[in-house]
Amino acid sequence: MNVLIINASPRPKGNISRMLNVMEEEAVRVGMQVSSIRVSDLCVHPCTGCMVCRSKQVCVLPEDDAQRMIRLIQACDVLIIGAPCYWGNMPGELKVLFDRMVYGMMSESPRGIPRALHRGKRTVLVSTCTTVYPFNILFHQTRGVIRALKEILKWSGFKVVDTIEVGGTKQSPVSEKKLERCRRVVRKLE
């Protein structure tokens, strides 16, 4: 099984990174093939909104890491995305990346009917924020991130098999219990 992990936190020792690191370790331990990408290491020009990719399935911008990421997503069976909550949503860098990858995620018929390009694949979504539980859910903080990611991934054909939301990271960084949950979620993918 080919697992792609996308880390949208710029903090290498932050909460998302710790959770994704244990997920990667567990995936490797059980024999999965894992590629791990940090969005802050990528070079991605923002989408110019020309819409050419909707009809031609190609981006008119010079090749950068957006096209490379499309190839990695095409090659994966399972996509794990970790994104901290920034203003109730995913970090801008991740949104810029998804905007550039739209033609690699879904296509449209000439009459504008959407067609998902990743049917049969699975995804796990992870988010953190400082707003404490249950307000991270009730006030759409981590829940806002999960909702926005689901919007993209469901239209792309991915089945969301698990979500992990951690609130209150200012008071207490992600606990061993949550890390164990991350490992369990990976084992369930087998």
Ligand X SMILES: Cc1cc2nc3c(=O)[nH]c(=O)nc-3n(C[C@H](O)[C@H](O)[C@H](O)COP(=O)(O)O)c2cc1C
Which of 3, 4, 5, 14 is close enough to bind ligand X by CB under 6 A? 14
d(CA 88, CA 143): 8
d(CA 34, CA 23): 10
Q: 135-174: which residues touch ligand X (CB under 6 A)? A: 141, 169
> CB under 6 A: which stretch of 26-34, 36-44, 109-117, 127-135 binds ligand X?
127-135
In this structure, what are the phi and psi dihedrals at residue 27, rounded to the nearest 5 degrees?
-65, -45
Which of 16, 20, 47, 182 is close enough to bind ligand X by CB under 6 A? 16
Question: How would you class 28 by CB atoms within 10 Å of its CB: exposed for 0-12, middle for 13-18, buried for 19 or more?
Answer: middle
Whether the ω angle into residue 114 lies within 30 degrees of 0, i.e. cis, is: no
User: Any contact of residue 15 with ligand X (CB under 6 A)?
Assistant: yes
Q: What is the closest distance, in whole angstroms, from the C-beta atom of residue 115 to ligand X in the complex?
A: 33
User: Any contact of residue 129 with ligand X (CB under 6 A)?
Assistant: yes
Binding residues for ligand X, per CB under 6 A? 9, 11, 14-16, 84-88, 128-131, 141, 169
